[in-house]
């Protein structure tokens, strides 16, 4: 078999480990792999390079993706969709492994519906793909945010201030939850919960009373009543670029005016997406990359390699694509247990 592979959507730590997983597993089973550059753009425009095991040696611990990525939607125009099918045929691709989040997997599902053999691999720092317990990239990216919160704690403590940290995550609060829980924030605001200003100020005041400072984590996806209909720009899949709304800064202003305590905000943005994948993400990405090849070899096309409990298995693309997998009430209950 001739495998094609691409990495689409926002990059995250572990993509290179997943590519290595695909290439090495395919090669060990007697198959070859071609990598498409810059996500679906590379398939549409015929930008590809052969990937042999030697090409993926030494990339396991490198952040980003050696293939490049983009937020290109190959089905935005029918002419592009036709080009995608032609290019795959021209490259002699038997099965395409699409590594990405919901947008990339939606495009993979559309391609599968049009008769191409496709396998999906879920990745995203947002941890919001349906049908898998964890996505790789999440643990590494959230560890960066926890590190940032701990640094902010030092300066907040020295100046007796409140500091608000805004983190990524789109419309799922997993990154904020992980940061607040592992970093010991006084309050964590996630998109899954309605903004409650009175409760937020209570937590902040309690933190300041107890230690002289307070830390608040805000997910970029929360809604503040007066910021609806914001003018933030959108990507090719019509997703608003949420960080442009600056909700962390807005929350900081509200805290200062309600409590009278000097308040600052920080937005770490894409810093969260860079750097070496941690142990969990390296191993998960390796398992899912090689699991995708195993699904193809078993003829299970149109499936996504996912983690369920501690096992890698396959589920139909239809089950993985859809609204984001958001934070569940049991996690929120745990999070709020540790807020003052
Ligand atoms: O989906 C991953 C993510 O980092 C989100 O958390 C964030 O909202 C978005 O990508 C940012 O997109 P871009 O890299 O296109 O600015």
Q: What is the pLDDT of residues 305-340, one digit of tens each?
A: 999 999 999 999 999 999 999 999 999 999 999 999
Percent of the chain with pLDDT over 90: 95
Q: Indicate if 119 and 147 belong to the same structural domain.
A: no
Position with higher pLDDT, 120 vs 232: 120
Work out the average pLDDT over 60-71. 98
Q: Indicate if 266 and 156 belong to the same structural domain.
A: yes
Work out the average pLDDT over 61-68. 98
Tell me what the pLDDT averaged over the chain comes to.
96
Please check whether residue 160 lies inside any domain of the structure: yes
Residues spanned by the domain of 232: 141-272
Q: Is the CB of 126 under 6 A from ligand 1?
A: yes
Please check whether residue 210 lies inside any domain of the structure: yes
Q: How confident is the model at residue 236 (pLDDT cuts 50, 70, 90)?
A: confident
- From the list 267, 258, 279, the residue with the least C-alpha distance to 149 is 267
281 is catalytic: no
Q: How confident is the model at residue 225 (pLDDT cuts 50, 70, 90)?
A: confident
User: For the chain, what is the domain count?
Assistant: 2
Torsion of CA 303, 73, 32, 125, to 10 degrees: -70
Given a cut of 70, whether residue 126 has pLDDT beyond it is: yes
pLDDT for 234? 84
Q: Indicate if 217 and 188 belong to the same structural domain.
A: yes
Please check whether residue 327 lies inside any domain of the structure: no
Q: Which of 23-37, 113-127, 221-235, 320-334 has the lowest mean pLDDT?
A: 221-235
pLDDT in tens, 248-299: 999 999 999 999 999 999 999 999 999 999 999 999 999 999 999 999 999 9
Count of beta carbons in the 10 Å neighbourhood of residue 252? 23
Q: Indicate if 147 and 258 belong to the same structural domain.
A: yes
Please check whether residue 114 lies inside any domain of the structure: yes
Query: Domain containing 52 — which CATH number?
Result: 3.40.50.450
CA distances from 131 to 135, 305, 309 (A): 10, 10, 11
Q: Is the CB of 170 under 6 A from ligand 1?
A: yes
Global pTM reads 0.96
Q: Indicate if 196 and 236 belong to the same structural domain.
A: yes
Given a cut of 70, whether residue 228 has pLDDT beyond it is: no
Q: Indicate if 119 and 199 belong to the same structural domain.
A: no
Query: Domain containing 184 — which CATH number?
Result: 3.40.50.460
CA of 222 to the centre of ligand 1 (A): 15
pLDDT for 231? 67
CA of 237 to the centre of ligand 1 (A): 12
Exposed / middle / buried, residue 36 (Cβ in 10 Å: 0-12, 13-18, 19+) = buried
From 102, 126, 128, 278, active-site residue: 126
pLDDT for 233? 86
Whole-angstrom distance, CA of residue 5 vs CA of residue 7: 7
Q: Indicate if 201 and 150 belong to the same structural domain.
A: yes
Please check whether residue 332 lies inside any domain of the structure: no
pLDDT for 238? 84
Please check whether residue 113 lies inside any domain of the structure: yes
pLDDT for 227? 55
Work out the average pLDDT over 202-226. 95
Q: Indicate if 115 and 193 belong to the same structural domain.
A: no
Q: Is the CB of 242 under 6 A from ligand 1?
A: yes
């Amino acid at each position: 078999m001739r495998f094609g592979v691409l990495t689409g959507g926002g990059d995250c730590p572990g993509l290179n480990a997943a590519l290595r997983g695909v290439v090495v597993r395919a090669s060990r089973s007697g198959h070859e792999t071609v990598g498409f550059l810059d996500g679906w753009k590379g398939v549409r425009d015929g930008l590809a390079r052969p990937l042999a095991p030697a090409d993926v040696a030494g990339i396991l611990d490198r952040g980003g993706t050696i293939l490049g990525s983009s937020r290109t939607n190959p089905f935005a125009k029918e002419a592009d969709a036709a080009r995608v099918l032609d290019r795959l045929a021209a490259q002699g691709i038997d099965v395409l492994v699409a590594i990405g989040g919901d947008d990339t997997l939606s495009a993979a599902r559309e391609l599968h519906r049009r008769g191409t053999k496709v396998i999906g691999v879920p990745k995203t720092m947002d941890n919001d793909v349906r049908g898998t317990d964890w996505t790789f990239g999440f643990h590494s990216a959230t560890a960066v945010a926890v590190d940032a919160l701990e640094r902010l704690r030092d300066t907040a403590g020295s100046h007796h201030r409140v500091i608000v940290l805004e983190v990524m995550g789109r419309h799922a609060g997993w990154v904020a939850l992980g940061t607040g829980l592992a970093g010991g924030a006084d309050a964590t605001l996630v998109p899954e919960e309605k903004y409650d200003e009175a409760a937020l100020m209570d937590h902040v005041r309690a933190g300041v009373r107890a230690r002289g400072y307070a830390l608040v984590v805000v997910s970029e996806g929360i809604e503040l009543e007066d910021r609806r209909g914001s003018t933030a720009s959108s990507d090719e899949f019509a997703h608003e670029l949420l960080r442009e709304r600056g909700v962390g800064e807005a929350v900081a202003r509200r805290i200062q005016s309600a409590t009278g305590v000097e308040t600052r905000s920080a937005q770490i943005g894409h810093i969260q997406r860079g750097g070496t994948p941690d142990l969990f993400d390296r191993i998960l990405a390796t398992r899912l990359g090689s699991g995708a090849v195993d699904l193809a070899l078993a003829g299970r096309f149109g499936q996504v390699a996912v983690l369920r409990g501690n096992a890698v298995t396959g589920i139909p693309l239809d089950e993985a694509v859809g609204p984001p997998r958001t934070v569940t009430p049991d996690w929120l209950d745990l999070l709020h247990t540790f807020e003052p």
